[in-house]
Amino acid sequence: MFDVTRKNRQYLLHGMAIGLLFLVTLTGCSKPPVTLTSVQLLENLDKGSGNFDRVLQICFSAPLTYTYYHRVTIVTKENVKIKGGGLLKPLASDPTSKCHLRNIYSYINKDSPIDARQLIKDYVVSGNISQVLIQIYNEKPKAKELPIAEKLYRNL
């Protein structure tokens, strides 16, 4: 009888150890929440090349310390829509910066309107943006995951 109880204790301890390891693994991999504070359209940062004449500045309440995925939807007053996304990584060049600069042309993809580059050049300008929706995810969404942070900005 002593061996049966001893064996049961071993199974119980073994199960508890696996459960604890599983719990630590789940909580250890989570990223801290982020808070969006502002978005701004910056024009003509490139001083003439045309490659960085439309840049979106996305700012957070604190510098990013982990890599996140973001989606952006820009809608102009003429209803031109530019949608895209990508990774937002901690800034190695300035780890204390709360703001990330994203070239709006990098949001052009296969689902973008025809002549998206020219539409951005003509319509995505300061004072002509009716709304910008920014969604932040822990990683690139595979289906209909909810964002961990989301904010809608109007009249930029």
pLDDT in tens, 64-74: 999 999 999 99
Mean pLDDT, all residues of the chain: 85
> Is the per-residue pLDDT at 11 higher than 70?
no
What pLDDT score was predicted for residue 52? 77
Residues 26 and 43 in one domain: no
Residues 5 and 46 in one domain: no
Residues 26 and 77 in one domain: no
What pLDDT score was predicted for residue 143? 86
What pLDDT score was predicted for residue 115? 92
Residues 69 and 132 in one domain: yes
Residue 34 gets which letter from DSSP?
A: -
Range(s) of the domain holding residue 147: 36-154
Which band of pLDDT confidence, cut at 50, 70 and 90, is reported for residue 61?
very high
- Return the CATH number at 146: 2.60.40
> Is the per-residue pLDDT at 155 higher than 70?
yes
Tokens 């820009």 appear where?
74
- Residue 153 belongs to what H/E stretch? strand 149-154
Given a contact cutoff of 8 angstroms between Cβ atoms, the answer to whether 60 and 37 are in contact is yes
> Which contacts of 7-14 are long-range, i.e. CB under 8 A and separated by 24 or more positions?
none
Residues 52 and 19 in one domain: no
Residues 61 and 120 in one domain: yes
Question: Model-level pTM?
Answer: 0.77
Residues 110 and 139 in one domain: yes
> Is the per-residue pLDDT at 81 higher than 80?
yes
Tokens of 62: 């604190």
CB atoms within 10 A of CB 41: 18
Q: Which of 55, 65, 62 is nearest to 132 (CA)?
A: 55
Q: Which range has highest mean pLDDT (29-33, 43-47, 111-115)?
A: 111-115
